[in-house]
Amino acid sequence: MIDRLAIRVNADAALVRKGRFVDVTFLLEVGEQAWLVTIDRGRVAEVLKGPFVMPRWTFALRASADGWARFWAPDPEPGWHDLFALIRHKQLRAEGDLHPFMANLFYFKGVLGSLRGENA
């Protein structure tokens, strides 16, 4: 499912426009599996599947596979509907330099929310 992130994000002109100042590589962990996602001017330029040896990233978003599956449900239940709800309920860990994440929070909510309804 994560491999379709570029297709979903890059096809959404409004989302790309919202992230036009975002240039970052972040780590997305779904349970034991990791991906490096590179954003270039709001477009997902690359999605690399791990495992990695000493990956380079600015920030990391880590949650269990079940946590992400519940977040990516077509109509997620309360507490699983938003990245900050996941953080508040200790289901998501955000690590590293969080400035790009926080400064572009609505963009990243849109990026990760773009996978809603995808089959795992």
Could you give the C-alpha distances from 101 to 9, 53, 61, 95, in angstroms and in order?
16, 23, 10, 10
Domain extent, residue 87, equals 2-113
Q: Tens digit of pLDDT for each residue in 69-84? A: 999 999 999 889 999 9
Task: Flag residues of the chain having pLDDT under 70.
Answer: 118-120
Q: pLDDT tens, 23-33?
A: 999 999 999 99
Does residue 118 form part of some domain?
Answer: no
Residue 119 lies in a domain: no
Q: Is residue 57 part of a domain?
A: yes
Q: What is the DSSP string of 102-114?
A: HHTHHHHHHHHHT
Residue 59, in any domain of the structure: yes
Global confidence as pTM: 0.91
For residue 29, give the CATH number of its domain: 3.30.1050.10
Domain-embedded: residue 56:
yes
